[in-house]
Structure 1
């Protein structure tokens, strides 16, 4: 089932939101509020989650608070990768959480935390154990990133690619499983902490790993999963068939469903990190997906229209 709707992914990260177009995040605030209101209009109780932010920056949260965004969410989320990308030590995790908790009145979730095996498998396994020691009991939700390594023939979702140097290639080694599906030592370390630590696994359009991922999550005892539906993907041929297949496959897990990524033809600039031309269009996408996939009060969701069409839930 869907347990929460997450509005965007790393909006304060230039690889996921174009801060050259929107340097003070005013456009993002408008977009987030529109999405939150649209979600609430179709579901009266579903928690709405902001972020998660990367870097962990209380000034960004203060900005969102001043613009009224925090009035429309039930949690805020943070992402942290201190052994790979962040300029702080892994032992600082409690302090990083406290920085955000000090400026919000809602729970702070950790919807991405991970350690790559880029340098050594043993480093990743130790990172799982230490992360659990530092975060379990301090955050209501913890999602380890990720189950699978990114296939070498794919691209990481970043606008800067090889210009990032070795930082770019760490994206490909974040999984508990290698690209070929074989386990790394970190898998056993993670299994000791599931279900207290959930997973974050992005599924690409028509991702060949979906069914195997479900089998692994069952085997590990995972309860909480964070994944996403891409607004940009919704314009692909047969998008709704893929969305249905993905959400049906994941229905046994408690899913935090992230909405993000701007279609090239609907952004101020022609790329997935752009603020939308019309924030209401993004909001309408969020609402349609919640109506389609969220079971409300025991009633099965309806699937009676297309991505761009009329209301999806029967009266």
Structure 2
């Protein structure tokens, strides 16, 4: 089968399309014939070597790219009980040492997959696992209840958009930080208020939420600038550990670490089918154009995910 790998770290040019053996599922695993796999910021970090430098990924002579997958099961190992060959599924590959999902086939534990949502295309479904599970866990880590206020940086992005929708379901007031031009988008996703500049962000937010917000989810990795908007004793959820600010003023700073939770992914898939969550595809590219996808993501301003089609 064809898959995207890197033998060395660097820019998009280090991505290679190679032939690799078709993987076989072991006990409790399924093999998925990949229909679509989205490109995420963490793929860029893995390719550039930032995850290895941070001690989050062990050095290896070759690394497979890709976390998200949507496709159809074409083989199942012993003791697989919830899925059958032919089922349309979505899943998350959260083991960095395993072969990646930017490939024609990928093997995942049964516990890491869920039935794909039926109301959107399989391509759109591929944008749900990593971003949806990240957003869901981040919202839960805030510990907020109905009526409290949440600041979301990078609110127009893949994670931020899901955060806004999940927060709306919990009855939270959200203040979205976005680039100029994204105001209408985030309001359709549930933002209560919108800020389009990160200059003096703390002051700008405190004009809207006196005393500061109850929690921050920092999808744009603004760090201490976003923390300035947080009330004393509030909760700051960081998505990237090295850029988490210190817990000053009695705040609680936590780092969200995504996990391949198939049971929760099934609930998120159902939310897509009820129109409560909105997967967004910026555009699609063939697997062979993975370098182009990385270049577009690094350029920024992509609203939705670039999805690779084997």
TM-score, structure 1 length as denominator? 0.28
Q: Which structure features the higher share of strand residues? A: 2
Which structure has the greater CA radius of gyration? 2
TM-score, structure 2 length as denominator? 0.29
